[in-house]
Structure 1
Amino acid sequence: MSFADPFLITIFAVTALALLGLPIGHAMIAASILYLWMSGLDMGTAAEQILNGMYSNYIILAVPLFILAAELMNIGSMTDRLMVFCNAFVGRFRGGLAQVNVLQSIIFAGMSGSAIADAAGSGKIMQRLMTADGKYPASYAAALTAATAVIGPIIPPSIPMIVYALVSDASIGYLFLGGVVPGLLMAGMQMVLVAIDARRKGFPVEPPTPIRELPGITLRALPALMMPVVLLGGIYTGVTTPTEAAAVAAAYALVISVVLYRSVSFADFYESVRSSAHTTASIGMLIAGALVFNYVVTVENIPQHLSVLLASWHLSPTTFLILVNVILLFLGCLLEGTTIILVILPVFIPTAHALGIDLVHFGVMCVVNIMLGLVTPPYGLLLFIMVRIAEVPMRDLVRDVLPFIGVMLLSLIIITFFPETVLWLPHLFGYQGS
């Protein structure tokens, strides 16, 4: 491969444009058009790939709908009622508010599918509650909020898993089921670490909620708690597709917030729609750029070349999974997660399939790995969000988040070497493997 090779120049162009500040989606589109021109191909193919990919994939519609559902939950009083519910059950223990932070992330994970939405919504509330009257150091509260928000895209529904299904043709329903046990495993390890920290650092004990108040608190939170049941029940009973379930989730959140809780004004609704549109446009440009760039990768036969190369190394499935984890952990420090799923994973999927690795197990493992990148320096998007919310120095936040990264890496190791942690629940619902 010479320095005048169109593909090599394309890679340089993507990197240079991204470093100059152009959004990565735009950079991939511009560099791909350059490749088509240098290769003598029809430059209109770029538009054709975007149109065919964006408008023929019904599954993509689920992304903006789940984002809208998360925004509607955050503007209503659903979040506050769920916080009170979580505090009633685990707030009475030492470090109870920190445990509430983990528990509320498990509940919100079953609603939004987005780590960013969890951190910016319920995470902002938890930051305020934990730091009130100096109960917890601001940097520890921010680190815990960032770490627990990672659970959001692992427990269903999950926007990253929807994007993975787009590039792998794996079943969204079984991917969602596969994320349940890993998400709960990660949350359980975080709760154990919080319990250890609470004893070691002397975190406060919250006043216990009287038992007689629990039924009333549960009843007030019940409409919000029913959202994951409505959402996932529709998918697994076959009543709705995942995309239709996303629409139901958005409508349910709107009805509960406006009609039942009466906590949303028109201005709030408008702002949630505007914010959802902004986030959707950002993700949409990433998908559009990846569709064009993946066409370039296909023309260059990169997946086939990589498969031949890896086959010559005679890797076992376990060794291959270790290699993929190492690569993704490194890339997660530098790149945005959706970009990795759309651009990097399609290169590995043919080899994984050829080695007999189940694509649901592979997808959940990769999503867990990539989500770690959200809290991994130097890029960690959740770190930047929490620095802004908590107003703490980045060095303090990184110091406090490292132990949580450690337990999440342990979870990743378990998920990698014990596929049944992912596949047990899908098998229970009739999954035959891929």
Structure 2
Amino acid sequence: MTDPLTLALVLIIGLCLLGHSVGLSMIAGSFTYLLAKGYDPSITPDTILQGLYNGYTLLAIPLFILAANIMNTGSITDRLLAFCLALVGRFRGGLGHVNVIASLVFSGMSGSAIADAAGMGKIIISMMTREGRYSPAYAAAITAATATIGPIIPPSIPMVLYALVSDQSVGYLFLAGIAPGLLMAVLMGLTNYIIARRRDFPVEAPVPLRDMPRITFRALPALMLPVVLLGGIYGGVMTPTEAAAVAAAYALLISATLYRSVGLREFYGALLASARSTASVGILLAGALALNYVITRENLPNALADFLLRSELSGIEFLIAANLLIFLLGMILDGGAILLIFIPILMPSVNAIGIDPIHFGVIAVVNTMLGLITPPYGLLLFIVANISGARIGRIILEVIPFIAVLIVALAVLIAFPGLTLLLPRLFGYQG
């Protein structure tokens, strides 16, 4: 007779290969496991409801999604791009640098790589390809690559998911992402500069110094959002979930009253888009909660921890092996699914070996972001291909240098945990 766990996993993989939702596939597999074991199948909905009901931190996800959609609907993105163009457009490959800086700034508001690529990407790709200054494939590739910064610089939806399954502080995870996000931005900026020199990319007309105060003033309300969020969280004024609500309210306030770019119709559209995205994340969460119950019943996390302890792997060896696994999974699975399914399996081993869970969380999120631009899944690649009209094969060729430097960034983060943990420790983290 087939082992119930094997039967469940085969069913999940089979349904995913047939194109069904990952979340629904996990629910179906978990339900099948319970039936095969002779357990009460009502455990599945009960586990899902209990997990969602007790996950107060999860409320941050739809609120950050709403904030990002409001910003993409209004003129916030346009003003931020104008500010970034004034800063770095004058350098060789200027619009590529604008792409990097804009992603860095936008990441402090949305927490989502997809929101970054789909919202800001439409505008920046159009700017880059106008009059044939950059090829559509290169514009799409650098847009997809820089969008991976979004979930690393706080706020970050993937880090909220990691905090949920690892029982770690969202605030410390947000702090730990700042230095890695800056490292990623610097390396991608250098890569763009080298490519721009080799291909003789154009230099944008420098913005007169007298215009800088006006451009900065127009973008200032949007630029203040990360300051409000992080100041509120680390000043003890609000929790990360409350900060997400403030982000959505702030984005709506400045878009509707100050910029006058969002009316009732636009706000309704943002709510509708946010509801769709939240439902997609919710189904994935529900499936992960059900499958994690199965994994816990089978005692897989503790069995893996015992096996690794007997193998006497060092911390760095475990990190290399775990990140290789996450990287390979990222080629075929959504990053959220990886965080929700595999992190709970790995966490007992992380704790047993003595690896700092905040450090591990940041490098795990960075690694899952790599999966968004790595074939064959590469969700961001398909999004920018749809926006730019470039062939996916050409985009893949153009994105390879950026994948390479992001792997370098990941290696640096693995080798030097102090880079990740410096800011959290300054704010009282004891790890």
TM range, smaller chain: over 0.9
Residue number among 2, 5, 9 corresponding to 2:7 in the alignment: 9
Name the CA distance, whole Å, in 2 between partners of 1:33 and 1:194: 49
Residue in 2 that maps onto 1:133:
131
Residue in 1 that maps onto 2:212:
214
Measured after TM superposition, the shift of residue 265 of structure 1 is 2.4
Residue in 2 that maps onto 1:223:
221
Name the CA distance, whole Å, in 2 between partners of 1:261 and 1:351: 50
- Consecutive unaligned residues of structure 1, counting only runs of 5 or more, are none
Residue in 2 that maps onto 1:428:
426
Residue number among 118, 140, 150 corresponding to 1:152 in the alignment: 150
Name the CA distance, whole Å, in 2 between partners of 1:214 and 1:194: 24
Question: Any idea what the Cα deviations from partners look like across 1:238-269, whole Å, max 9, x if unmatched?
Answer: 10000000000000000000000001122211
Amino acid of the structure 2 residue aligned with 1:140:
Y
Measured after TM superposition, the shift of residue 379 of structure 1 is 0.2
Question: Any idea what the Cα deviations from partners look like across 1:170-189, whole Å, max 9, x if unmatched?
Answer: 11000000000000000000
Do the aligned residues in 1 keep the contact of 2:162 with 2:361 (CA within 8 Å)? yes
Amino acid of the structure 2 residue aligned with 1:186:
M
Q: Would you identify which runs of 4 or more consecutive aligned residues in structure 1 move more than 3 Å? A: none
**SS class of match (1:334):** coil
Question: Any idea what the Cα deviations from partners look like across 1:137-195, whole Å, max 9, x if unmatched?
Answer: 11000000000000000000000000000000111000000000000000000000111
Residue in 2 that maps onto 1:378:
376
Do the aligned residues in 1 keep the contact of 2:309 with 2:352 (CA within 8 Å)? no
Name the CA distance, whole Å, in 1 between partners of 2:320 and 2:133: 41
Residue in 1 that maps onto 2:358:
360
* 1:315-334 superposed matches below 5 A: 315-334=313-332
**SS class of match (2:134):** coil
Residue in 1 that maps onto 2:66:
68
Residue in 2 that maps onto 1:187:
185
Residue in 2 that maps onto 1:169:
167
How high is the sequence identity, in percent, across the aligned residues? 56
Give the number of aligned pairs: 431
Do the aligned residues in 1 keep the contact of 2:309 with 2:353 (CA within 8 Å)? no
Measured after TM superposition, the shift of residue 310 of structure 1 is 1.2
* 1:239-258 superposed matches below 5 A: 239-258=237-256
Residue in 2 that maps onto 1:259:
257
Measured after TM superposition, the shift of residue 349 of structure 1 is 0.7
**SS class of match (1:111):** helix
* 1:86-97 superposed matches below 5 A: 86-97=84-95
Of residues 11-20 and 59-68 in structure 1, the stretch that sits farther from structure 2 once superposed is 11-20
Residue in 2 that maps onto 1:110:
108
Name the CA distance, whole Å, in 2 between partners of 1:194 and 1:47: 49
Matched, 1:59 2:57: yes
Do the aligned residues in 1 keep the contact of 2:12 with 2:29 (CA within 8 Å)? yes
Name the CA distance, whole Å, in 2 between partners of 1:264 and 1:167: 36
Residue in 2 that maps onto 1:236:
234
**SS class of match (2:153):** coil
Residue number among 300, 303, 313 corresponding to 1:302 in the alignment: 300
**SS class of match (2:152):** coil
Name the CA distance, whole Å, in 1 between partners of 2:88 and 2:385: 27
Question: Any idea what the Cα deviations from partners look like across 1:246-303, whole Å, max 9, x if unmatched?
Answer: 0000000000000000011222111111010000000000000000000000000001
Residue number among 384, 389, 392 corresponding to 1:391 in the alignment: 389
Measured after TM superposition, the shift of residue 312 of structure 1 is 1.8
Name the CA distance, whole Å, in 1 between partners of 2:421 and 2:305: 25
Name the CA distance, whole Å, in 2 between partners of 1:19 and 1:209: 51
Amino acid of the structure 2 residue aligned with 1:198:
A
Name the CA distance, whole Å, in 2 between partners of 1:11 and 1:89: 51
Question: What is the TM-score with the length of structure 2 in the denominator?
Answer: 0.99
Name the CA distance, whole Å, in 2 between partners of 1:218 and 1:122: 18
Measured after TM superposition, the shift of residue 327 of structure 1 is 0.5
**SS class of match (2:109):** coil
Amino acid of the structure 1 residue aligned with 2:100:
V
Name the CA distance, whole Å, in 2 between partners of 1:12 and 1:341: 20
**SS class of match (1:110):** helix
Name the CA distance, whole Å, in 2 between partners of 1:22 and 1:323: 30
Question: What is the TM-score with the length of structure 1 in the denominator?
Answer: 0.99
Name the CA distance, whole Å, in 2 between partners of 1:273 and 1:61: 15
Amino acid of the structure 2 residue aligned with 1:42:
D
Name the CA distance, whole Å, in 2 between partners of 1:333 and 1:359: 24
Name the CA distance, whole Å, in 2 between partners of 1:380 and 1:129: 23
Measured after TM superposition, the shift of residue 388 of structure 1 is 0.6
**SS class of match (1:205):** coil
Residue number among 67, 75, 84 corresponding to 1:77 in the alignment: 75
**SS class of match (2:266):** helix
Name the CA distance, whole Å, in 1 between partners of 2:179 and 2:109: 16
Residue number among 256, 268, 281 corresponding to 1:270 in the alignment: 268
Residue in 1 that maps onto 2:140:
142
Name the CA distance, whole Å, in 1 between partners of 2:109 and 2:422: 22
Residue in 1 that maps onto 2:46:
48
**SS class of match (2:376):** coil
